[in-house]
Amino acid sequence: MNEKSMTRRSLVKRAVLLAPIPASTVSSFSLAQSSGALSLARIIVGSGAGSVIDTLARRVCERLTPHYSQSAIVENRTGASGQLAVSYVKNAPKDGATILLTPSPHLVLFPYTFQNLPYRPATDLMPVSIGATFDLAFAVGPAVPEQVRNLHDFVRWCKANPDKSQFGSPAAGSTPHFAGAMLARAGDFRLDHVAYRGPGPAVLDMVGGHIAAACAPLGDVHTFAKSEKCRILATTGSRRSIFMPGVPTFSEMGFKDVVIQDWVGFFLPANTPKPLQKNAQDEIVRVLSNKELQEAMAANCYETGGGTAEALAERMRIETARWKSVVTALGFTAVS
């Protein structure tokens, strides 16, 4: 190739590079950059389709488009008590396209109840926003006499009937399990725990009279209480639930340490660029303020509302320290 042809080629290349970019291309690029628009966003959940968390994820997805992404889907990566979903997001690209929606125990409690947790919440995930909060409910069914109307009645009944004093929870090492264990420790009475695979079976056995009591998310008990198939003796929040304002809290009944409010939160992989985190936070908070979404989640006794990444990180720090002391005090043996 001679010097003349090389010079001509260099001039053509330079002309292409310096040619003005069409206005439409500039406009499209600027829109994508300013809005953080992606071609596809995925919300990863560790529970199956139809669960309350899955429902929240799908309602958020419906409203993330077109501002956050051109399309958005929910992926259910179930298994290992939700650990598969968290691990998947931990290893996902740091481009803002893969978002985790997970309940708080997976991050603040599991480090003390699982020996070989495949992730470290504080270093493997980046908080984005809290999604919703919910209380636990402690309820009794037909196996317990009608005159048992509050926690003090229940404690007396259990002491008089130790062979019948059982309660069910969604799983060993779950927050409902620990709520019942903390009650028994504070009241100094025997209360045998029965672990189930999820809250539904535990509540159904309580309503059916097969076990005396059950502790589960309020949304799983609420309908049965409304139809008088069971009696909710207390809820675990720091204040009375807006969904059951006539029911006292554990704290009101004198069990000051039994204050538990579970939550679900949105996370990105750790070290995602800050602008992408901020964009995700802004969009999710915007979506969570939607009145229709809030009303839909209220049907499951979820109080929906977003917050800052910093507030979520601080909440995790406080609750992680608290659960460590609770698990240690109860002498719970970690499972693998």
pLDDT at 335: 64
Cα 242 to the center of its chain, rounded Å: 19
The pLDDT profile of the chain, 336 residues, written as one tens digit per residue, is: 444 444 444 433 344 333 343 333 333 333 334 445 799 999 999 999 999 999 999 999 999 999 899 999 999 999 999 999 999 999 999 999 999 999 999 999 999 999 889 999 999 999 999 999 999 999 999 999 999 999 999 999 999 999 999 999 999 999 999 999 999 999 999 999 999 999 999 999 999 999 999 999 999 999 999 999 999 999 999 999 999 999 999 999 999 999 999 999 999 999 999 999 999 999 999 999 999 999 999 999 999 989 999 999 999 999 999 999 999 999 897 665
36 with 96: CB under 8 angstroms?
yes
- C-alpha 160/C-alpha 155 separation (Å) is 9
pLDDT at 3: 42
179 with 136: CB under 8 angstroms?
yes
> Measuring CA to CA, which residue among 44, 49, 59, 222 is closest to residue 132?
59
Separation in Å, CA 120 to CA 83, 116, 320: 11, 10, 12
- C-alpha 263/C-alpha 324 separation (Å) is 18
Q: 238: burial class by Cβ within 10 Å (0-12, 13-18, 19+)? A: exposed
The first and second tokens of residue 190, run together, are: 């025997």
- C-alpha 121/C-alpha 108 separation (Å) is 8
> Measuring CA to CA, which residue among 295, 81, 51, 48 is closest to residue 173?
81
> Measuring CA to CA, which residue among 99, 41, 98, 27 is closest to residue 70?
41
Q: 41: burial class by Cβ within 10 Å (0-12, 13-18, 19+)? A: buried
